[in-house]
Structure 1
């Protein structure tokens, strides 16, 4: 399990920016593990192009279908890279999100489980993971390159 942030203002003002905190945790996340992200997102999801890409993602049957679609140069859209990074995180594990800035109608497009606080997220993640043996905490997700211990 990894607990991370988007490193605070200004990197957590939108979900688009906050995803960078998720990406920083992927190298140490075990497949099927949980990422807990705390990000204010006071300006919502992000650009209109990014929101449209998230809406498109929701329409596809699988993440692989979405990735195939955006891999076609004819389907290129500004801000698709960040949605691609979100899909990378979603394919690796479960995302729990603590955010006070997202509107109710934006939450479905985070593809994350909404939590009341980080403690709630840790409790819920531990309840869903039978063999979780370690919790990594990355206070400034985008600025850290975590590595698993060699032991």
Structure 2
């Protein structure tokens, strides 16, 4: 993809601020559901809830006009018991499906240590896992900044 094609592809996505708000809402909903339905401990916020980086190899010509953000939910102290893990994954997957995430793929599946990954059409990845603690995070995929989306591709 050339420079203009990269901008065109990204201009069809929400800008990074809209994407972050959308994904933060999803993380909040999932956290609340896990606490309410599975009785896990309240989530402890992370020291750095949001980190950003350049878009990477799929959008090399975007430079500072695009960004990927990593959104951490922190952790819920303690492990989700193995016998409840599948039900928790189902809850997360059904909730995330509402925002276009696909089926969960197993990353780790050992006794008292589990993690799944779900991806959406924009390259976002939701990670949900449990071991010593239960964790939840999203990496947004590449999105234009608000200013870049409003301005369009530079000449």
TM norm structure 1: 0.26
Q: Which structure is higher in helix share?
A: 1
**Whose Rg is larger?**
2
